[in-house]
Structure 1
Amino acid sequence: MRILVVDDMDSMRHVMIRMLKSIGYEQVEEAVNGIQALDLLKARQYDVIITDYHMPKLDGFGLLQRIRGNESLAHIPVLLVTCEDKRSEVELFIKAGVNGVMFKPFTANTLIKQLNWIKESLVTKQTASAG
């Protein structure tokens, strides 16, 4: 599974990448903001995008909207990482088509659960469309 981690903070990107590798995900790439992520998405295929919410240039919500608005990218699961815990914000993410939300701080177990949920959702979707 190829994963793109998008976060403007070096330390958070590296923590996320180390966490992903420690739980068995080796194909992990990184971007510093939504604009760079979109450039990478044009050049490569990813199975999951994990993005921070608050970033300069193009934040995680804007990135999510661009992905969902692009027919060739819209199928890619997006996991949003945020410190926002307001119900209205989370509802906004869900309405925009996010596949999961993780609240900072989070543990490797939380990350595992979110990725498993995304994988199970994809299998369910594929099974439903095949039947």
Structure 2
Amino acid sequence: MRILVVDDMDSMRHVIIHMLKGIGYDQVEEAVNGQQALNLLMSRQYDLLITDYHMPKLDGLRLLEHIRQHEPIAKLPVLLVTCEDKRSELESFIQAGVSGIMFKPFTANTLIKQINWILESMPDKQQANAG
């Protein structure tokens, strides 16, 4: 499974990547903002996007909206990572078609549960393929 991790904070990206690799996902790439992520998504195929909400250039919500409006990647599962707890903000993500939401701080166990839930919720019932 190829995963793209997007966060403008180096430390947070590295924590998520380290967790993913620790649970068996070794095809992990990273982007520092939503615009860089969008460029990567247009040029490579990914099975899952894990993105922060608050980022420069293109935030997580705008990134999600671009993804859902662009047919080749419109069905890409998107896991939002945020410390945001405003109901209105979270409802915007739900309306835009987010696949899952994970609140900071989180554990590797939470990450595993979110990924499994997203994969099990996909129409083709894809199983998580580590590696």
Which TM-score band (shorter chain)? Answer: over 0.9
Which of 1 and 2 has higher RCO (CA within 8 Å, sep 6+)?
Answer: 2
**CA deviation vs aligned residue, 1:46-71 (integer Å, no higher than 9, x gap):** 00000000000000011000000101
Task: Say yes or no: does 1:53 pair with 2:61.
Answer: no
For structure 2, the 5+ residue unaligned runs are 126-131
Secondary structure in 2 matching 1:8:
coil
The one-letter code sitting in structure 1 at the alignment partner of 2:90 is: V
Q: CA RMSD in A?
A: 0.8
In 2, Cα distance between equivalents of 1:88 and 1:9: 24
Equivalence map 1:70-85=2 (5 Å): 70-85=70-85
In 2, Cα distance between equivalents of 1:66 and 1:101: 18
Aligned length: 125
In 1, Cα distance between equivalents of 2:66 and 2:2: 20
Task: Say yes or no: does 1:103 pair with 2:99.
Answer: no
Equivalent in the alignment of 1:11 = 11
Q: Give the C-alpha shift of residue 22 in structure 1.
A: 0.4
Secondary structure in 1 matching 2:36:
helix
The one-letter code sitting in structure 2 at the alignment partner of 1:82 is: T
Instruction: Give the percent of matched residue pairs that are identical in Structure 1 and Structure 2.
Output: 75
TM-score by length of 1: 0.93
In 2, Cα distance between equivalents of 1:2 and 1:99: 16
Alignment counterpart, residue 124 of structure 2, candidates 119, 123, 126 = 126
The one-letter code sitting in structure 2 at the alignment partner of 1:87 is: R
Equivalent in the alignment of 2:128 = none
The one-letter code sitting in structure 1 at the alignment partner of 2:85 is: D
For structure 1, the 5+ residue unaligned runs are none
TM-score by length of 2: 0.93
The one-letter code sitting in structure 2 at the alignment partner of 1:107 is: T
Q: Give the C-alpha shift of residue 7 in structure 1.
A: 0.4
Task: Say yes or no: does 1:92 pair with 2:92.
Answer: yes
Equivalent in the alignment of 2:22 = 22
Q: Give the C-alpha shift of residue 92 in structure 1.
A: 1.2
**CA deviation vs aligned residue, 1:14-47 (integer Å, no higher than 9, x gap):** 0000000001111000000011001111111000
